[in-house]
Amino acid sequence: MFYDPQRYHRRSVRLKGYDYSSPGAYYVTICAAQRGLLFGRGVQGTIELNEIGQVIHDVWLSLPHHYPHITLDAFVVMPDHVHGTIVIVDAPAPPPHGAIHDVGGGDDGDDGNDGNDRNDVGTQRAASLRPPH
């Protein structure tokens, strides 16, 4: 089953002006591109993760290592999306005004962004496993 934009009209449920970096529990859903079945398949009522799905699973579990101010609650990797709860237990202190930021040496793709771009190790692993178009 692929995502049909004519049938599904998702609108953001984010609150305008709300600071989502504030401490609290946040339920997130992350969808595969065009809702493609990239992470595994459903078999007799269970989910069998493929290699990409296992990468997603492992990266999710590693998030507190990269972001010590969060904890994880329940999560599930589905064939075309991930549901999970991230709990921000203490907001990180903002850098001092005028501070020079470290832009390298992170545990991801060595760009310091920890997963927000194509240089992230998890992104690279998943991309290498995805079949060509």
Provide the domain limits for residue 40.
31-91+103-125
Measure Cα distances from 107 to 119, 121, 124 in Å.
Answer: 11, 8, 13
Distance of alpha carbon 102 from alpha carbon 107, whole angstroms: 13
Residue 100 tokens, joined: 């020079």
Q: Is residue 96 part of a domain?
A: no
Q: Is residue 133 part of a domain?
A: no
Contact indicator for 85, 73 with CB cutoff of 8 Å? yes
DSSP 80: S
Q: Is residue 79 part of a domain?
A: yes
Model pLDDT, residue 132: 64
Q: Is residue 116 part of a domain?
A: yes
Average pLDDT for the chain: 80
Q: Is residue 112 part of a domain?
A: yes
Domain count, the chain: 1
More confident residue, 68 or 116: 68
Q: Is residue 50 part of a domain?
A: yes
Q: Is residue 18 part of a domain?
A: no
Q: Which helix (H) or strand (E) holds 74?
A: strand 70-77
Rg (CA), the chain: 17
Nearest one of 53, 102, 44 to 80, comparing CA atoms: 53
Q: Is residue 11 part of a domain?
A: no
Contact indicator for 64, 72 with CB cutoff of 8 Å? yes
Contact indicator for 60, 82 with CB cutoff of 8 Å? yes
Distance of alpha carbon 76 from alpha carbon 78, whole angstroms: 6
Model pLDDT, residue 34: 80
Q: Provide mean pLDDT across the span 4-26.
A: 82
More confident residue, 25 or 11: 25
Model pLDDT, residue 73: 97
Model pLDDT, residue 36: 87
Model pLDDT, residue 10: 66
Q: Which of 33-37, 40-44, 72-76, 96-100 has the lowest mean pLDDT?
A: 96-100
